[in-house]
Structure 1
Amino acid sequence: MTAPLPPDEAVRIAARALPLLDLTDLSEGCTAEAVATLCQRAERHAVAAVCVWPRFVPQAAQTLAGCGVRIATVVNFPEGGEDVAGTLAETRATLDDGADEIDLVLPYRALQRGDAEAARAMVASVREACGDKLLKVILETGMLPDAETVARASRLALEAGADFLKTSTGKTPVSATPEAAEAMLSVIRERGGARPVGLKVSGGLRRVEDAARYLALADRIMGPDWVRPNTFRIGASALLDDLTRAGEAGA
């Protein structure tokens, strides 16, 4: 386990990480009551977004209207299948319901078997459907064999129009890892260009030390001024409690 941060550093990291959170409930037993609580916490702590199942998008959009917290949802989730028509229908429905951001699972099995075009077609089609809404592409890096494959998936997603790369669904045995995040950030850096693209680290982050590790990684690769809500997100709910504890301890 990573050693605890000194109190002053924990306070600094908590203040930096809170505005980057996508406060998430994608549990199988999620209820309207749980989403109401999630939205209350999101507004109280001024996080970047909530991420909920498509069926809860209307509730979240109504609850958080006007407060600045964005509404994210997931499509083609968590399987990462290849049904473009079905995924497009799901995307359009959630956008009509008030979603601001779409987290799409890349058809990573297609990529692994050598059918990169099937994966590319999914991302490009959903990109078109999203219009000016934010598209995050989940690479499911824990299911990819090595950093080279993660980099290849990252390039494909960005070329097809992704605004963000996201590590994982949180539904597989291996979620975010620093190694995968480093490969993804390296591709973002090499891409350059005027259109900003970002990274979302998701799955397994629970402590302020976890946030510190990924923030330091982003600072090292992208520079100290790169991290902000439109370029870096942390997909977590368990982490919020540790961040707020750290902040309160320094108050």
Structure 2
Amino acid sequence: MTADDRRSLALRVLSLIDLTDLDDNSTAQGVAELSARAITPHGHTAAICIWPRFIETAKALLHGTGVRVATVVNFPHGGTDIDGVLAETRRAISDGADEIDLVLPYRDFAANGAALSRQMIGSVKKLCGRKVKLKVILETGKLADEAAIESASEVALEEGADFIKTSTGKVEINATPAALRIMLEAIRESGSAAGVKPAGGIRTLDDAAQYLDFADAIMGEGWVKPETFRFGASKLLDDVLGQLGSGASSTASSGY
């Protein structure tokens, strides 16, 4: 790959990043620094993804920039308390969240089937409506096999997910190309307009390129754009900016 090719790739990846701080020790100051990092001399990231308690802070800092504010609910453990998840979601939307990343109750899904998962996803999607994007985190590293990942993808898409996302970044196995392939094929077969978000362990431009190659091959050239593809990452931006000649940005937050 030539230097010009790598620069083009870096610019492409920059626009797809959900710059993430889901560290257990996150602070308002850290969110302010994250918000500043999302705006670069080469363009801005698609979104930042933060804990719900920091939504209002981030919205004020990012007003007018084009950077969306995403948050997480039922995170990271994927519990079964639907009422609690709906309360989290209502508060997040009230505080101004543009996107909700919902963890599938994956243990219940594996043990008991799709009924509760369908109810949770459908109920959260109803709250999100058309204005707020819903990303459903499948936690693919905890699902038993390819068939389970495929089934979880289908359920999320049928219940209205705007994106399906691999992982919380909080388990041993997070995003993998194999999981992404299954999820992309599920989107293609469904005819859905939904997108996909690999998250966890994607730290370099070469890592990102592998996932983009899968998406281009399965969904076709031109499908990948911020409306259909995101990287959940905290460290990827450093390598992207290095490739663009800006040097690494300030120290990335942990969590992804």
Question: Normalised by the size of structure 2, how large is the TM-score?
Answer: 0.93
Task: State the one-letter code of the partner of 1:206.
Answer: R
Query: Is it true that 1:219 corresponds to 2:191 in the alignment?
Result: no
> What's the counterpart of residue 249 of structure 2?
none
Task: State the one-letter code of the partner of 2:143.
Answer: L
User: 1:43·1:64 contact (CA, 8 Å) conserved in 2?
Assistant: no
User: 1:57·1:97 contact (CA, 8 Å) conserved in 2?
Assistant: yes
> What's the counterpart of residue 58 of structure 1?
56
Question: Normalised by the size of structure 1, how large is the TM-score?
Answer: 0.94
> What's the counterpart of residue 30 of structure 1?
26
Task: State the one-letter code of the partner of 2:195.
Answer: G
Aligned-residue offset at 1:48? 0.5
User: Structure 2 residue aligned with 1:247, among 244, 250, 253?
Assistant: 244
Q: What are the Cα deviations for residues 186-230 of structure 1, in whole angstroms up to 9, with x where unaligned?
A: 00000115xx21001100000100110000000000001100000
Residue 78 of structure 1 aligns to a residue whose secondary structure is coil
User: 1:138·1:166 contact (CA, 8 Å) conserved in 2?
Assistant: yes
> What's the counterpart of residue 174 of structure 1?
173
User: Structure 2 residue aligned with 1:126, among 124, 127, 150?
Assistant: 124
Residue 85 of structure 1 aligns to a residue whose secondary structure is helix
Aligned-residue offset at 1:142? 0.4
> What's the counterpart of residue 108 of structure 1?
106
Structure 2: runs of 5 or more not aligned: 247-256
> What's the counterpart of residue 90 of structure 2?
92
Q: What are the Cα deviations for residues 103-125 of structure 1, in whole angstroms up to 9, with x where unaligned?
A: 00001111101331011111001
User: Structure 2 residue aligned with 1:12, among 8, 13, 17?
Assistant: 8
Structure 1: runs of 5 or more not aligned: none
Task: State the one-letter code of the partner of 1:34.
Answer: G
Give the share of equivalent positions with the same residue, in percent. Answer: 53
Q: 2: CA distance between counterparts of 1:66 and 1:153?
A: 36
User: Structure 2 residue aligned with 1:237, among 234, 241, 245?
Assistant: 234
Query: Is it true that 1:47 corresponds to 2:45 in the alignment?
Result: yes
Task: State the one-letter code of the partner of 2:204.
Answer: R
> What's the counterpart of residue 191 of structure 1?
190
User: Structure 2 residue aligned with 1:203, among 174, 188, 200?
Assistant: 200
Q: Which runs of 4+ in 1 moved over 2 A?
A: 5-10
Task: State the one-letter code of the partner of 1:15.
Answer: L
How many residue pairs get matched? 244
Query: Is it true that 1:139 corresponds to 2:135 in the alignment?
Result: no
